[in-house]
Structure 1
């Protein structure tokens, strides 16, 4: 943790702007380059955790491989004299999507712009074998021009990198997890498609598709419930757009969109008044078992590092 108004290397720490499971983010001034940046550092308990440090380096490696207009870049990774690891990233003045949503429902045209920019950034990452695994409104930032910047690849999974977590351990934010991730099963790029669908559902309907007072209740809803289609909750949402959300939220990997290129194609088809490439997946009847990810309802071991 950094003290406000202190110097960290050549960075003057100005204010805390974010607090996640693994790290704290600060707004700081780069006195060498005379620019405002964001510093992300570990929380203290990660300093003695080798796995936590591995994740930190993995985040830097994952994000450092990506150069795309809709993904946050990293200026550098460094370490203080007392061993505190930190990353230096661009500071985005436009806030995050979570804050925008608190202020009220966004216009449909803005939602479509955000959705397409998210999809473009995630497609680019997936083509480089990187899965985010924690897409949620708080990780969607905006620069001063309102351009989407996807941040926090702290639990990103490089498909060619050995797993850092034990089998059955659940990483991420439950409300945005696909069934296979909530079950602690191995995930692929379609996990991000599901999470994208949850965010889009929330933007269009004003509520989350899977709700509960506890994580266990949310977990059961993800596995057992079929959300009410967006167009039934908001009469301004066209059914075709609601169908895109439904397909992104298909519990079966076979029925879910196979790639973000397919998602983008349907978003463009909708925008241009053309038929969607495929019909939304049929709802999974409550209680139906699907081998490979659906097991008896039981609490899973949680990784509370985020």
Structure 2
């Protein structure tokens, strides 16, 4: 049985973002009544923020008014023990992002009729939402604003449902959402960048036709398995969306029927006036093509495609399988992976097997002190790695840095026009639709130049800018631009950033060696051991962890973990200070303004406005580092890379984290019984024993009394299975497995026999 949350039994954790945890749950009632649903638990840090709760209530009210077979309904909104939650329908299936990733991995094209059916069902749901009225008959004028693959559910029965109206806008809720601006940071940029419309990215007024543009993007990506607008950085993605140059991209895929190409072009018209004027019009265009092409498609055919793609989700009693429509045996994606595709190869060159995490539950034993030379490993020709989270999830807002950049760029364009700006290298021009409605902000000359323009490494890449020296430096430090992109300073020639005079702006960025000393996939089975081995080996350098769009950089010196950098919104210093109740929202806004104007870190901005003193700031910084560390243990996939000798950025205050004492709480918080059972399943027949002379005492591990008592089982030389059989219940089993997992990871215990083949 799972843990209980009020009247709900939490069964499986579906996911977690910056604002909420999402659980598959069961509700029970009289006479054995049961219902499977989804419980969305709001994280505690937002529970005391009235503006955010008002926004949550507005979203629930909005969705409760929508009753349509293509929209996931909301059942309930409430609060239990101070935790706000929303319950909604559970769709037995996968989201469209998972479909595209699996199809790319298997190089299996989505049949045209399946893609059009999915898009048509999304359009039907949008048409209903766009025309919805409240209980008094007033038009709600809903705009979803986040129509993206992650928000489209495709069920194993072929149903298609649109979910997550968390960033939707309705006319009757405008004031409530304005009040929540301090949470979302910017009302116009809170969706996924590459699925926005040109007017939404530009900050212009939007209407329902913005959602139609997003559906056009979905159609293209389903048919090509390529990311239409995804750039190498957020800035490049925004530029791609704003330009909306799609003709050549569509024409590359000549297997797309010409009428379908026309549907995509119309939906993706840069000017809203050139698009379908309603979602119903888009749906009709799709149905007209399917009829004229004599393509029969319905939920049952979509269900067969989903089961063919995800055989593990097939019903226990299923009808005989038939061929998926439009698919031939051996039908594959038409070309090799290219940057921006769902099957983009993100592998790094590895040092053979990832020897850094050579634990009892992972790879073969190997030393850390003398790593093997970095040699590229030849991958199988059919090996494909899929980026699992190319962009923030709906609960993770876009970083406010992008908003500040866009504002500053707009102001700089106005200032440049007044100054009789010099011609841009290559005679390139910016879009004419950029809105220059921000306050003037003239450049202040600096030692490196007055204005900076940034673009990719191809001659035809669009540039962004001009931006000031301060903004350019922030872009570097926040990894919004990379050293491989190109910069033009004061109208000069385009040069690679890593080779330009700006290298000294961010020494840590350019200090990375060509390849890491250790790298590999990140697995829960040996995550604690990864930290233990770095400490035990006295490592100095940077451990880079990545999971989709999330990135963390952990800086070590002589085995001590001194600082963690993170790009997760909820782990910003100001967010944590608010959560702790140390500062108010007004103080944070004042500190951010002061920090920006004076070029200070946010912490010093808080001090400068009197919101916090030096000692309390130190406490907040320690809590920030603790949370950044503990969050890593919730990852179930990702990658790691260790760069030896990389220096820590000079802007942080190093303070060693007590990793050993944090491992226990981390495992208790994130390693549920089902996860631990999965880790130990291949090792049930193995004998576990205490090491005769461990490097540390058991008392230093911070084990609970129950965990310490469970370990006594291994004084008898029992196997894992024997020890599990002797526990009284699942709670004792959980104590046993947690303790055993920690002690194996930290070399206090060991298996007495070699590991079986094919283990995790």
Smaller-chain TM-score bracket: 0.7 to 0.9
Taking the TM superposition and a 5 Å limit, the aligned residue runs for 1:37-76 are: 37-76=37-76
1:250, CA displacement in angstroms?
A: 1.3
Gaps of 5+ in 1: 275-284
Change (3 A) 1:292 1:213: closer
**Residue 127 of structure 1 aligns with which residue?**
131
d(CA) in 1 for partners of 2:12 and 2:234? 31
- Structure having greater relative contact order (Cα 8 Å, sep ≥ 6): 1
**C-alpha separation between the residues in 1 aligned to 2:15 and 2:247?**
33
> Are residues 1:17 and 2:14 paired?
yes
Corresponding residue SS for 1:116? helix
Paired residue secondary structure (1:100): helix
Number of the residue aligned with 1:263: 282
Matches within 5 A, 1:160-199: 160-163=172-175, 164-165=177-178, 166=181, 169-199=188-218
C-alpha RMSD over aligned residues: 2.7
User: Kindly tell me: are residues 139 and 286 of structure 1, through their superposed partners in 2, closer, same or farther at Cα, counting changes over 3 Å?
Assistant: farther
Question: Which residue of 267, 281, 290 corresponds with 2:433?
Answer: 290
Moved more, 47-56 or 259-268: 47-56
CA drift of 1:234 comes to 2.8
| Residue of structure 1 in register with 2:257 after alignment | 238
User: What secondary structure sits across from 1:28 in the alignment?
Assistant: strand
| Aligned residue in 2 for 1:103 | 102
CA deviations 1:149-201 (Å, max 9, x no partner) are: 11111111112222414577521110101122112333211111111111111
C-alpha distance in structure 1 between counterparts of 2:216 and 2:248, whole Å:
12
Structure 1 match to 2:267? 248
Asked if 1:227 corresponds to 2:278, the answer is: no
Does the alignment pair 1:117 with 2:116? Answer: no
Within 5 Å, which residues of 2 pair with 1:144-155? 144-155=156-167
- Greater helix content: 2
CA distance in 1, matches of 2:187, 2:162: 27
Moved more, 195-204 or 160-169: 160-169
DSSP 3-state at the match of 1:213: coil
**Partners of 1:286 and 1:107 in 2: how far apart?**
39
Contact 2:247-2:265 at 8 Å conserved across structures = no
Q: Taking structure 1 as the reference length, what is the TM-score of the superposition?
A: 0.85
Q: 1:90 to 1:49 in 2, by over 3 A?
A: same
2:289 and 2:207 map into 1 onto residues whose CA distance is 26
Label 1:293 to 1:132 Cα distance change in 2 as closer, same or farther (>3 A): farther
Looking at structure 2, the residues matched to 259 and 20 of structure 1 have their Cα atoms a distance apart, in angstroms, of: 32
The 8 Å contact of residues 194 and 237 in structure 2, kept in 1 or not, is answered as: yes
Q: Please, which moves more after superposition, 164-173 or 285-294?
A: 285-294
* 2:130–2:208 Cα contact (<8 Å) kept: yes
Kindly indicate whether the alpha-carbon contact (under 8 Å) linking 2:111 and 2:223 is maintained by their aligned counterparts in 1. Answer: no
Q: What residue ranges of structure 2 are gaps of 5+ in the alignment?
A: 104-108, 133-140, 294-427, 439-463, 472-568, 571-760
Structure-1 residue corresponding to 2:320 = none
* Structure 2 contact 188–200 (Cα < 8 Å) conserved: no
Q: Are 2:148 and 1:136 aligned? A: yes
Partners of 2:436 and 2:260 in 1: CA distance: 27
Match of 2:77 in 1: 77
CA drift at 1:262: 1.5
2:376 corresponds in structure 1 to: none
**Aligned counterparts of 1:168 and 1:153: Cα–Cα separation in 2:** 14
Question: Partners in 1 of 2:39 and 2:252 — Cα distance?
Answer: 40
Cα distance per residue 1:100-157 (max 9 Å; x no partner): 1112131112111101111000000000122111110110012331200111111111
CA shift, 1:50, in A, is 2.2
Comparing 190-199 with 30-39, greater Cα deviation is found at 30-39
Q: Give TM-score scaled by structure 2 length.
A: 0.36
CA deviations 1:220-246 (Å, max 9, x no partner) are 111235024565333321121111111
Provide the residue aligned with 2:4 in structure 1.
7
CA contact (8 A) 1:168 1:183 kept: no
Q: Distance between the aligned counterparts of 1:233 and 1:18, measured in 2?
A: 36
Q: Which moved more, 1:72-81 or 1:289-298?
A: 289-298
